[in-house]
Amino acid sequence: MRLARLGSTGDEIPVVQQDGTSYDLRPVTARIDRDFFASDGVERVRAALAAGELPVLEGADGLRVGAPIDEPTKIVCIGLNYRDHAEETHAEIPAEPVVFMKDPSTIVGPNDTVYIPKKSVKTDWEVELGVVIGRTARYLDSPADAADVIAGYVLSHDVSEREFQIERGGQWDKGKSCETFNPLGPWLLTADEVPDAQQLGLRLSVNGVVRQDGSSANQIFDVAYVVWYLSQFMVLRPGDLINTGTPAGVAMGMPDQPYLRDGDVVELSIDGLGSARQRFVQA
C-alpha cells in the first residue's frame, strides 16, 4: 500500500493510494504518526480498504503533497554507508555504522521549498532510502528480526551543510538539522510491497544534470543490519525514520564542489518510492 498525506502544511489529510485513486483515511485515523503505527494502523487501513469502507478524496490531484509521516520521535541517520560515497569523500570504510541524529522538524513535503541557511557556503544533496519503524524495537536478537519492526520505505533527502557539519566543531548534527533539510515522500510504501530493500535504484539530478545514480545493493551495512544495530543503542519507536545513507555523487566529493545555490532545482527518485522536486531558496 501507498500511504500519503495531502493538503496544506499543518492540515494534511491522510490517504491510501491505489490504482491512481486517493482514499480518505480519516474514518480510520486522523494522522499517520507514532500512534497510528503503534496501534496496527497499517493493518487497519488494509482491512478498511478491502472492505470498501474508505471514501474517495475528491480533488486529491490538486492538493499539495505533504510528507507521508507526521512528527516522528526521531530521525536517525547512517553516514558513509555506501562504499563509493566513502571513497569519494576520502573517508575510511567504517567498521561499524556511523550514526548521527537529525531534528525531526526538518521534515517537509517532497516538493516543498528548501531553504539554504544564512551564511551557508556548502549546502549539499543526498538522496537516501528512508526506513519507517512500525513497532517498538529494543535489543533485537539478530538482523533477521528487523523485518518484523519495519512499517515501510520512503524517498528521503538528507540535505547537508558541509561546513556546518565538518568545519564548525566536528558536530554533524549542526550540518543536518537546518530548517527544511529533510524533504520526504511522496508516499510511504509498506514493507510487504518491497521484495528486496537491497535492490533499489536511487537517482538525483541538479538543474537537470544527473549527479547520483546508485543502488541500495552497494550499502556497506544493509537495512536489516542497520535496524538491528541501532536497537542495541537506542529504542526505536513506531513512526521513527532511519535515513540509511547516500551513494556517490554528492557535491563534496566532486573536484569543483558545485554546492547548491539560490534557485537550484533538485529532482530525486527511488525505485517504487516515487519522485520529488525541490527548489532551493536562500533563507
Condensed to tens digits (0 to 9), the pLDDT of residues 202-247 reads 999 999 999 999 999 999 999 999 999 999 999 999 999 999 999 9
Pair 191, 257 in one domain:
yes
C-alpha cell, 112: 516543498
**CATH code, domain carrying 252:** 3.90.850.10
Q: Which amino acid is at 132?
A: V
Taking residues 275-280, report their average pLDDT.
Answer: 98
Q: Cα separation of 225 and 232, whole Å? A: 11
Taking residues 75-98, report their average pLDDT.
Answer: 92
Q: Count CB-CB contacts under 10 A for residue 15.
A: 27
- The bridge status of strand 107-108 relative to strand 182-190 is parallel
Q: In which band, very low, low, confident or very high, does the pLDDT at 171 lie, cut at 50, 70 and 90? A: confident
Specify the 3-state DSSP secondary structure of 118.
coil
What is residue 177's predicted lDDT score, i.e. its pLDDT? 97
In degrees rounded to 5, what are phi and psi of residue 276? -145, 160
Residue 103 maps to a domain = yes
Residue 91 maps to a domain = yes
Q: Give yes or no for residue 152 having a pLDDT over 80.
A: yes
Pair 88, 47 in one domain:
no
Condensed to tens digits (0 to 9), the pLDDT of residues 45-75 reads 999 999 999 999 999 999 999 999 998 999 9
Domain count, the chain: 2
Task: For residue 45, give its domain range.
Answer: 2-62
What is residue 34's predicted lDDT score, i.e. its pLDDT? 97
Buried b (16+ CB within 10 A) or exposed e, 120-156: bebbbbbbbbbbbbbeebeebeebeebeebbbbbbbb
pTM of the model: 0.97
Q: Cα separation of 188 and 108, whole Å? A: 14
Taking residues 66-89, report their average pLDDT.
Answer: 93
